[in-house]
Amino acid sequence: MKNLFRYFALAALLFVASSPMQADNTSGTFTMGDKTFLLNGQPFIVKAAEIHYPRIPRPYWEHRIQMCKSLGMNAVCIYIFWNIHEQQEGVFDFTDNNDIAEFCRLAQKNGMYVIVRPGPYVCAEWEMGGLPWWLLKKKDIKLRERDPYFMERVKIFEEKVGEQLRPLTIQNGGPIIMMQVENEYGSYGEDKPYVSEIRDCLRSIYGKELTLFQCDWSSNFEKNGLDNLTWTMNFGTGANIDDQFRRLGELRPNAPKMCSEFWSGWFDKWGARHETRPAKDMVDGMDEMLSKGISFSLYMTHGGTSFGHWAGANSPGFAPDVTSYDYDAPINEYGLATPKFWELRKMMQKYSDKKLPAVPKAPMPIITIPKFELKEFAPMFAASEKHETGDIKTFEEMDMGWGMMAYCTILPDIPTQSVLTAECHDYAQVFIEGKYIGKIDRVKNEKSLTLPPVKKGMVMMIFIEGMGRINFGRAIKDFKGIVGDVTITADIDNCEVVWKPKTWYNYTYPDDYETAKEVLDEVITGDVIKGYQDLFATISDKEYMGGRGYYRGYFELKKVGDTFLNFETWGKGQVYVNGHAMGRFWSIGPQQTLYVPGCWLKKGKNEIIVHDIVGPKEAVVWGQAEPELNKLQLEKSNKHNNIGDKPDLNSATPVATGAFKAGNGWQTIQFNKTAKGRYLAIECLSTQKDGDRVAIAELYLQDTDGKRISREPWKTKYANSEEENGNHMGDKVFDLQESTYWQTEKGASTPHLLVIDLGSEQDVKALEYLPRAEQGAPGSIKNFKVYVY
Ligand code: GLA
Ligand code: CA
């Protein structure tokens, strides 16, 4: 009991309370004409720049809008991020960095129109796709469906947004020309009644004059396409543009065409290389669209930063996004022009009869900060906010949105090694008697850990950090903490013994500045440290739990400016500078620096707090002049070329052999008979053009009814070659994104082999294959063999 007391007394003791625009603002119109949009009755091509207000510090908003304008854009396109405005149910915030009306007014002031995408779901690599976590307090809620509670909250929120934006529609003399209904619903499901209800909600708020549209992919927009809405397509750099609009042209030959998300680059996830897309492909695509009178929104024109805990995660699998949302966009994360910007600007000039406006000067210089040490320290477990004893609770059940939880229980006597099994969302570290045993990392799909022999009465703690909630696909209902039962299994005298600990001590640790500051202040004033030393007379502060905790330091500035703080020597956690949440760091990379906007720094003394749940190698930080977004520090390579994982296919019989057709678009290969197996192997024997390089954008398997099998549990088992540069790994064939692809390395010769673990045995009747979406389908396969085993 002494040990247990150690944990709980500590937590209790250290408890912390916790343009062509009307200058005169007269009314205008924006409507559909014959093959074109009409602005005040005149043909109009939308050249929109997607930028996100919460990803840009407010003092920089106007600069970023002007940067977009200097690219020749005539509009900005914004999502409305529900969960940043209603962080607590019923409490709304449209002030400061959340002042969306002011953002629109700034656009108007600078002669830019605005396209608004008010969700409720937005995707955007944003925590839970913009939905508030507290919706999950109603456990059985159906998100993005006609669930009564979901719809009730959606309508209340949209009404609040309406109070801000209704006066700003073009009909009311404002800059807003169009509004989007939901977001890419086709890649979530098929539910016209739901999409209709969102449409009606917006209609009732903004009136029937405002143009409403839907965005989807060319491959799935018909699923939910509503007759009385404008249809637009989303696709990325390099896509075959005629192909993308073919179906729309057949269905609605007289409709204007618009690519509502033309992806300039792509987002990054932890543990994989930084994504890039060639400038030339992007510019050529936009040039082609403009030459054909096609409207577009460039997603992202400036990506910015997912500050604090706002970065989301992708699925299938669990792939949390990094803090930087640079996106390889033409305007980089910190607002400056890249080579892509200049190439784009040159092209855009061709489509403007006036000289494009000058590129505005950056609002701040870039500064460096010499290395300094963070000397103040408070141990991690000093910050527990509340505690409950009994069943295991999720974050949501503990009424906490973001942060960490410690789950403690008292162990029985287990004389041998045992296996702890727990579904942990997301990053769990296990301690027994304060000693670190190992981790269960959801990113790696880990669900268990081997424990050493233990004695009755020992305390086990599972400490879990929640990362961003999934923002894409059905998995957006993403509870945090331990979800489900925890078991400990051991083999004792040839008998499997299973323990299910019943009593748990649940502790919450919110990840906000106030918590971090308060615990550090208490430690420094000695209030906490005294009690703490009584309890741990023999353990020095930093030794305890391996230096996991809160660190604080200060740096002096003579002049302020933007900088990039380097966290390469740190483990995993969050950073606060002068009270502003900067975002997550994780030693695995690829992002190693955090962007710190100069507008949040000051002359003289500045404060930095780092919360490191793993513990640093060295508690030092410095500010550098360039970001580091592409440095991996992995325990082992994330390539799948381990020869032990390569199946021996010599004696195996393929379920299909043959040749794919050349060109873009989906192809289906029917098997002669149903194949049974847990693994899919696709052997690529030759390519359509000369060369050995192979690429696949997406793969699906069909069951015996011709339905697509869920890819949720899929993992890459083996790939003989994967191009890490630009992140073209095996998992790109089942990431639900048609614009991303697996690609072999230059110089690697055919045959190429990709093996996918389907998670469990499946009955398979057909394979669907999508080559790269670019013109000419680069890397497309000719002769193939498919195995299911
Ligand atoms: C989709 C979504 C966007 C974003 C992009 C990828 O198009 O609509 O919100 O997630 O994918 O960056
Ligand atoms: Ca893909």
Tens of pLDDT, residues 268-314: 999 999 999 999 999 999 999 999 999 999 999 999 999 999 999 99
Of the candidates 158, 261, 275, 774, the residue annotated as catalytic is 261
Q: Tokens 């929120």 — which residue? A: 157
Banded model confidence at residue 3, pLDDT cuts 50, 70, 90? very low
Q: Would you say the CB of residue 234 lies under 6 angstroms from ligand 1?
A: yes
Q: Which two tokens stand for residue 679?
A: 């693994």
- Measured in angstroms, how far is the CA atom of residue 15 from the centroid of ligand 2? 47
- pLDDT tens track for 474-517: 999 999 999 999 999 999 999 999 999 999 999 999 999 999 99
Banded model confidence at residue 526, pLDDT cuts 50, 70, 90? low
Q: Would you say the CB of residue 267 lies under 6 angstroms from ligand 1?
A: yes
- pLDDT tens track for 119-130: 999 999 999 999
At 25 the pLDDT is: 76
Q: Would you say the CB of residue 50 lies under 6 angstroms from ligand 1?
A: no
Residue 56 has pLDDT above 80, yes or no: yes
Specify the ligand 1 atom closest to the Cα of 300: 12
Among all ligands shown, which has an atom nearest to the Cα of 773? 2
- pLDDT tens track for 81-92: 999 999 999 999
Active site residue 373: no
| Phi, psi at 287, each rounded to 5° | -60, -45
Burial of 502 (0-12, 13-18, 19+ CB in 10 A): exposed
At 469 the pLDDT is: 98
At 20 the pLDDT is: 53
Q: Which two tokens stand for residue 780?
A: 């497309």
- Measured in angstroms, how far is the CA atom of residue 124 from the centroid of ligand 1? 5
At 638 the pLDDT is: 83
Q: Which of 50, 52, 123 to mutate to test the pocket of ligand 1 (most atoms within 8 A of CB)?
A: 123
- Measured in angstroms, how far is the CA atom of residue 128 from the centroid of ligand 1? 13
At 21 the pLDDT is: 60
Helix axis angle for 527-535 and 513-525, nearest 10°, is 80
At 536 the pLDDT is: 36
For ligand 1, atom 6, the nearest C-alpha belongs to 124
Q: Which of 131, 181, 183, 184 to mutate to test the pocket of ligand 1 (most atoms within 8 A of CB)?
A: 184
Mean pLDDT for all residues in the chain: 93
Residue 737 has pLDDT above 60, yes or no: yes
The mean pLDDT value for 754-763 works out to 96
DSSP strand E in 500-644: where?
A: 504-510, 549-557, 563-566, 572-577, 580-586, 593-596, 604-612, 620-624
Of the candidates 50, 86, 158, 184, the residue annotated as catalytic is 184
Active site residue 184: yes
Burial of 551 (0-12, 13-18, 19+ CB in 10 A): buried
Residue 534 has pLDDT above 70, yes or no: no
For ligand 1, atom 5, the nearest C-alpha belongs to 124
At 533 the pLDDT is: 40
Q: Which of 299, 306, 321 to mutate to test the pocket of ligand 1 (most atoms within 8 A of CB)?
A: 299
- Least confident range from 6-15, 208-217, 716-725: namely 6-15
Q: Would you say the CB of residue 245 lies under 6 angstroms from ligand 1?
A: no
Specify the ligand 1 atom closest to the Cα of 124: 9
Among all ligands shown, which has an atom nearest to the Cα of 739? 2
Residue 712 has pLDDT above 90, yes or no: no
DSSP-based helix, strand, coil % in the chain, nearest 5: 25, 35, 45
The mean pLDDT value for 592-600 works out to 98
Residue 193 has pLDDT above 70, yes or no: yes
At 22 the pLDDT is: 52
Residue scoring higher pLDDT (675 or 637)? 675
Q: Are strands 47-50 and 295-299 parallel, antiparallel or unpaired?
A: parallel
- Least confident range from 24-33, 156-165, 552-561: namely 24-33
At 129 the pLDDT is: 98
Q: Could you give the CA distance from residue 103 to residue 164 in angstroms, rounded to a whole number?
A: 11
- Measured in angstroms, how far is the CA atom of residue 734 from the centroid of ligand 2? 6
At 570 the pLDDT is: 98
DSSP state of 337: B
DSSP state of 222: T
Whether residue 468 contacts residue 127, with contact meaning beta carbons closer than 8 Å, is answered with yes
Whether residue 120 contacts residue 154, with contact meaning beta carbons closer than 8 Å, is answered with yes
At 527 the pLDDT is: 56
Among all ligands shown, which has an atom nearest to the Cα of 743? 2
Q: Which of 261, 315, 324 to mutate to test the pocket of ligand 1 (most atoms within 8 A of CB)?
A: 261
At 523 the pLDDT is: 77
With residue 669 as reference, give the H or E element that holds it: strand 667-684
- pLDDT tens track for 92-109: 999 999 999 999 999 999
Q: Would you say the CB of residue 261 lies under 6 angstroms from ligand 1?
A: yes
Among all ligands shown, which has an atom nearest to the Cα of 471? 1
Q: Would you say the CB of residue 183 lies under 6 angstroms from ligand 1?
A: yes
At 97 the pLDDT is: 98
